[in-house]
Structure 1
């Protein structure tokens, strides 16, 4: 088994490779569907199918990772990602994009916990080996500082990959079009190029998962396929019960719903706000890609600052993690409130205010997230760790769905400012 530092390096790499394909596809996905002749109603259908599928698959896939191993599930996620993005590059009809949405949802659900759970398991196993061979299977054992550093660096790497991917994915079609490398019409167009690049990143994720993520040995014989299927529901139930019976863990998990509301509020309403500021949808999409990349970069910086903030606040392992998570949430809420207050600004001032608010909000979320993860892992054992992470992701998705319905209607009836103020309040 590898040592804690080697596990951390591999976790950082797999985190970056997990999020890079999504960053590459983010700026062009909607535009590619529109080029294929799919209207906003069809695009909305694709997103709705994706959201429902993710919510439906989160807990079963988390339980599967706890039963058959993290590496196998993460490799499956990478393989599905490769197939989905390659198909999207060539897709031409609504039913194809709907099917791709289901595949993307499956890949997202499969990847929502295994890498992080693998890293925590690896650190526990390394600590047990160093301590004389007694295997750690729960929240105790390893140095809390090592876990905090690793979780923060993994989060920072994923956010940095999203930022880089968003910029590359947004600029690559323009470069290809200017050089005339692909036609504007046909099966393969300039907007398809980021999807093909995302497939290469997914292949890299698959290789690292298969070759660079050795699983800690588990007690007993490897389960048969039938036993796996029977164990998944039991594992899901055990993880869900732990998540809602443990008071501290329940509070941490419920903050995921608030995060989902806040994140979806800005992702849903900011593009339209920028379109109003610029008066040009094409220019708005460019500005949104830049602002989103700034936000992802701020998450990376915030994640790197998280351990330093925890040491500054002090108070013990659990206390300083709680204080750090709360501090990050306050920074994010204040920044989102600033975005709401900037709704009265016009032109360049409004764009600059949006970028500044994005920076502050994602910086706060970056500071908070590693400490949230640390609190979750301190309450979960290896048997249900990935399932608890899936509960967290499920609540994040549920909060986003609630935000899409409620805050979207609120913004349409009044304006974006009340919707953003309400989203900011949920973070406090």
Structure 2
């Protein structure tokens, strides 16, 4: 396999991994409400999904590092397929809770193996000094493109489905299940595993906790990875600040919940387009700024300023309010993509292949932990004092996270983890 071939496969996998989630994103809450769930019950389902995902992040990352990237990615596609197909036909809160558990397992399994596969493959082809930024940037751009295409298709498909044939809101999850099926086939047949010794089930089960423990030790013990994990938590704050508060703000501006959901689909798609552009431009930003560290600072500062602009324009009404919110959304996701891509490069440069997916899962866990805390704090602030009162402190926290990159230590690659071998 050549580096170009590996990149094409990585880009395809990146697109297919996020397309199912994009397709169901615009209608998920509306579908649950249509089936009779209250807002409190919908919130419970979302919380269950988050708890399952966070709980399995590290074990599934360790499983991918021990068992192999392809197997775990294929399992993720299978769980996602079942979850979205079940979602389309769920009618009770218990069915939706089961759906969210299965979807959470699939989300945890998908965290990291595709990127780890690409990095491992490129290192085999070009050596440890291979430049990761161009490939990771294109992969990130494809993820954002998938979300952009998915949220638009999922948002407008219900308008085209005759109610006599199928509940219109159930069509996007079924489309997502079909996309997950395509991902399953591609993962099985198009991702040759890099040099990886086959292990018995006993060896796998013994190796996962050792790999997880080593990954946690690396993430918390080394100054570079420790800072990067905290930066991921800051990114979680940024995402929560907009994903939690923007839909209500747009519904208020548009006049009705229905128009607000349509406006949110369009604004979210624009944001994902900005994210794709940010991922594609990240290598150039790093060159212009004099390195990945300074590029990450620039992206983080831009993200903080964008959230601040949302707070500053929270008093605008009508088209002006919609336009400023959309612009801030695009710039925010662009800046966040630049910072995230460069942090991803620094993370992979700081670890060996044996811990690669585990560390990526640790970073994802940090991001979700930052988002979970923000959900509680910003929700209370916005309810009591308005969205601007929540966006201002969010902007301050994100801006403060840029200080994590100041005088960033030089990464020292660790020794490979010792994984128990099979008995002779």
**What's the TM-score once normalised by structure 2's chain length?**
0.93
Aligned with 1:285 (options 261, 271, 274): 261
| Aligned counterpart, 1:202 | 180
Contact 2:238–2:303 (Cα < 8 Å) also in 1: no
For residues 168 and 151 of structure 1, the distance between their equivalents in structure 2, rounded to whole angstroms, comes to 26
2:18 is equivalent to residue 19 of structure 1: yes
Measured after TM superposition, the shift of residue 67 of structure 1 is: 0.5
| Aligned counterpart, 2:194 | 216
Measured after TM superposition, the shift of residue 326 of structure 1 is: 1.0
| Aligned counterpart, 1:256 | 232
Aligned with 2:138 (options 137, 148, 153): 153
List alignment gaps of at least 5 residues for structure 2. 400-424
For residues 408 and 36 of structure 1, the distance between their equivalents in structure 2, rounded to whole angstroms, comes to 25
Measured after TM superposition, the shift of residue 142 of structure 1 is: 3.4
Alignment of 1:349-364 (within 5 A): 349-364=320-335
Measured after TM superposition, the shift of residue 367 of structure 1 is: 1.5
For residues 35 and 407 of structure 1, the distance between their equivalents in structure 2, rounded to whole angstroms, comes to 27
- Aligned residue pairs, count: 399
List alignment gaps of at least 5 residues for structure 1. 129-140, 315-319
| Aligned counterpart, 1:97 | 96
| Aligned counterpart, 1:269 | 245
| Aligned counterpart, 1:380 | 351
2:155 is equivalent to residue 170 of structure 1: yes
For residues 252 and 323 of structure 1, the distance between their equivalents in structure 2, rounded to whole angstroms, comes to 14
Measured after TM superposition, the shift of residue 373 of structure 1 is: 0.6
Stretches of 4+ aligned residues off by more than 2 angstroms: none
Aligned with 2:276 (options 283, 295, 300): 300
| Aligned counterpart, 2:376 | 405
Measured after TM superposition, the shift of residue 279 of structure 1 is: 2.1
For residues 198 and 152 of structure 2, the distance between their equivalents in structure 1, rounded to whole angstroms, comes to 44
Measured after TM superposition, the shift of residue 309 of structure 1 is: 1.0
RMSD of equivalent CA atoms: 1.0
Measured after TM superposition, the shift of residue 193 of structure 1 is: 0.7
Contact 1:75–1:205 (Cα < 8 Å) also in 2: yes
| Aligned counterpart, 1:317 | none
For residues 404 and 427 of structure 1, the distance between their equivalents in structure 2, rounded to whole angstroms, comes to 15
Measured after TM superposition, the shift of residue 277 of structure 1 is: 1.5
For residues 153 and 369 of structure 1, the distance between their equivalents in structure 2, rounded to whole angstroms, comes to 13
Alignment of 1:183-198 (within 5 A): 183=164, 188-198=166-176
For residues 199 and 54 of structure 1, the distance between their equivalents in structure 2, rounded to whole angstroms, comes to 19
| Aligned counterpart, 2:130 | 143
For residues 142 and 81 of structure 1, the distance between their equivalents in structure 2, rounded to whole angstroms, comes to 35
For residues 164 and 237 of structure 2, the distance between their equivalents in structure 1, rounded to whole angstroms, comes to 40
| Aligned counterpart, 1:125 | 124
